[in-house]
Amino acid sequence: MLIDKSDEIYLRPLLKKDINKRYISWFSDVQVTKFLDARNITKKESIYYLQKGIDTGQYYILAICCSRADLHIGNIKIGPIRRKDGLSDLVTVIGDRNYWGKGVASKAIKKATNIAFKEGGMRKFIASIDSLNIASVKSYLKGGFTVESKIKDYFFHEQNGKSYFSDKIFVSCANKDYDISTLNNWKIK
């Protein structure tokens, strides 16, 4: 994976040394994790999860880094990868809230899909988003994804003694240059 630091952000493989106190704090921040399944994770759990992806090739976690400060500000996960079908989920989190609202997520999404399409021959990416996570929906759309479908009243929420539902939005991005012969051997290094 070629790392290009000439843009505002760059992606690189997440390293064990990235999983520090600052990193772990992202996953205990209620604003960061509001729409995530990963909450209150430990350093040990994070390192295990990272290593499992590396060992199995089922998913890859990339660090989203600010070029100017050379600072790790979030992650983007490619996977789980369904190699037979050429499909993968794409999950993005900007853990450092100082970088929210600056277009960082959409740039990371574009970069990750380009890497996986060009280097990995991936056919299609899919992401599912809570409709209340408007910033995420906008980031994926700006990152080249389109809305593919919606499931009404999928997520249940409770707040201030009131309960309500929100929709699950599926977005996707297809590789116009898809070639099945390159997919099965792909590994991020």
pLDDT value of residue 50 = 96
Residue 146's beta-bridge partner residues?
172
Predicted pLDDT of residue 118 = 86
Within-domain flag for 2 = no
Strands 87-94 vs 124-130: parallel, antiparallel or unpaired? parallel
pTM given for the model: 0.90
Q: Are 81 and 15 a contacting pair, CB within 8 Å?
A: no
Determine, yes or no, domain membership for 107: yes
Give domain status of residue 61, yes or no: yes
188: helix, strand or coil: coil
Q: How many domains does the chain fold into?
A: 1
Verify cis geometry, omega within 30 degrees of 0, for the bond prior to 80: yes
Closest residue by Cα to residue 61 from 115, 122, 12, 113: 12
Residue 69 confidence (pLDDT) = 87
pLDDT in tens, the chain (189 residues): 556 666 789 999 999 999 999 999 999 999 999 998 888 889 999 999 999 999 998 999 999 999 988 899 999 999 999 988 889 999 999 999 999 999 999 999 999 999 998 888 889 999 999 999 999 999 999 999 999 999 999 999 998 999 999 999 999 999 988 876 665 566 665
Of 40, 88, 71, 66, the residue nearest 188 (C-alpha): 88
pLDDT digits (tens, 9 = 90+) for 105-139: 999 999 999 999 888 888 999 999 999 999 999 99
Is residue 187 in a domain? no
CATH code assigned at 159: 3.40.630.30
Residue 7: predicted pLDDT: 79
Task: Please tell me whether residue 18 adopts helix, strand or coil conformation.
Answer: helix
Pairing of strands 87-94, 60-66: unpaired
Domain annotation covers residue 184: no
For position 37, what pLDDT does the model report?
Answer: 85
* The pLDDT of residue 5: 66
- Model pLDDT for residues 66-80, shown as the tens digit of each residue: 998 889 999 999 999
Q: How many CB atoms lie within 10 A of CB 134?
A: 10
In this structure, the number of other CB atoms found within 10 A of the CB of residue 178 comes to 14
In a domain, 79, yes or no: yes
Task: Note whether residue 15 is domain-resident.
Answer: yes
Which residue segment(s) compose the domain that 14 sits in?
Answer: 9-179
